[in-house]
């Protein structure tokens, strides 16, 4: 019977089969933190329903990590077969073990771009209209392993501001993922917070995809309550990665399944991606070399 593993992330460590046997019997899916667990499990339920027949395995298990590092460690430890990462999360895996995973696909935005943006939001009633108004204010980050929620802002903002982040803002903090970071803005706990978005489409809809769109769709965010005050340069869309030593037949069938998913089951595709995209395109490590270099320079791994 297909199963969802909903316990603590440490449950991943109890997997006791060899990697080859496990790949043929049970396909293990890592899900990044940053959104409440019930929503993540519900959005990925279709993988449990569809993947066994599509890729020839008996079971699919979902492992919703508490944070980004949970999935990173699962991939490094060989206890996950597939995950969708941010570019910085992939860089974290690669810098610790270049042979652990292979990036195979990424999403393509509706405008044909294969990138997205870090976007800084502030409350509409805060009086903060631009990045200039954030001087001396409290900036919130999402997660230390997030590309748009930490790495890119921490690299791009000093260049734009002409000074270190810690000198410009009165305080910075991590707030437990993208959803919580935006909620911290709405609750007045921080003055501005960075999150991720396609930056394409209608602002009041939360754009076409990304955390902002997810929160709008769930009724957690009204775009009239926030103002976009900063946008990063385009960031490479995060990769779908598979365990490097995954059974070749399973890998090929999984890749074909994902590439065809926007047409064969658009509802499942939209659910797992959180918005509207053209579909998937193939990538390899070279697509992420600039992010790997940036992470290495910033935090060493």
Ramachandran area for residue 51 (φ above 0: left; ψ -120 to 50: alpha; else beta): alpha
Structure tokens at 64: 């919703």
CATH topology agreement for domains 26-109+237-299 and 115-235:
yes
Predicted confidence at residue 21, as pLDDT, reads 38
In terms of Cβ atoms closer than 10 Å to its own Cβ (0-12, 13-18, 19+), residue 164 is: exposed
Predicted confidence at residue 151, as pLDDT, reads 96
Predicted confidence at residue 265, as pLDDT, reads 97
Q: Which residue ranges of the chain lie beneath pLDDT 70?
A: 1-24, 300-301
Q: List the domain boundaries for the chain.
A: 26-109+237-299, 115-235
Predicted confidence at residue 36, as pLDDT, reads 82
Predicted confidence at residue 299, as pLDDT, reads 78
Predicted confidence at residue 34, as pLDDT, reads 72
- The highest-level CATH class for domain 26-109+237-299 is alpha beta
Predicted confidence at residue 23, as pLDDT, reads 40
Could you please state the CATH topology (level 3) that the domain comprising 115-235 is classified under: D-Maltodextrin-Binding Protein; domain 2 (3.40.190)
């Amino acid at each position: 019977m297909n199963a969802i593993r909903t316990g603590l992330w440490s449950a991943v460590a109890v997997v006791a089969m060899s990697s080859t046997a496990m790949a043929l019997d049970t396909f293990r899916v890592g899900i990044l933190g940053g959104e409440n667990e019930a929503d993540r499990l519900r959005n990925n339920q279709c993988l449990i329903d569809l993947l066994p027949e599509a890729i020839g395995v008996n079971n699919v298990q979902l492992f919703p990590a508490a944070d980004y590092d949970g999935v990173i460690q699962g991939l490094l430890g060989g206890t996950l077969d597939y995950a969708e990462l941010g570019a910085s999360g992939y860089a974290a895996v690669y810098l610790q073990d270049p042979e652990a995973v292979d990036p195979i696909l990424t999403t393509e935005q509706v405008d044909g771009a294969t990138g997205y943006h870090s976007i800084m939001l502030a409350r509409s009633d805060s009086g903060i209209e631009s990045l200039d108004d954030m001087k001396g204010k409290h900036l919130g980050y999402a997660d230390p392993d997030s590309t748009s929620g930490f790495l890119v802002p921490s690299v791009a903002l000093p260049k734009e501001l002409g000074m270190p982040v810690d000198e410009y803002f009165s305080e910075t903090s991590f707030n437990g993922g993208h959803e919580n970071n935006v909620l911290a803005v709405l609750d007045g706990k921080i003055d501005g917070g960075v999150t991720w978005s396609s930056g394409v489409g209608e602002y009041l809809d939360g754009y076409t995809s990304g955390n902002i769109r997810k929160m709008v769709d769930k009724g957690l965010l009204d775009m009239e309550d926030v103002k976009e005050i900063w946008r990063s340069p385009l960031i490479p869309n995060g990769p779908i990665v598979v365990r490097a030593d995954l059974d070749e037949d399973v890998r090929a069938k999984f890749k074909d399944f994902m590439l065809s998913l926007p047409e064969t089951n658009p509802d499942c595709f939209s659910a797992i991606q959180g918005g509207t995209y053209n579909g998937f395109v193939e990538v390899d490590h070279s697509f992420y070399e600039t992010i790997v270099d940036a992470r290495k320079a910033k935090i060493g791994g």
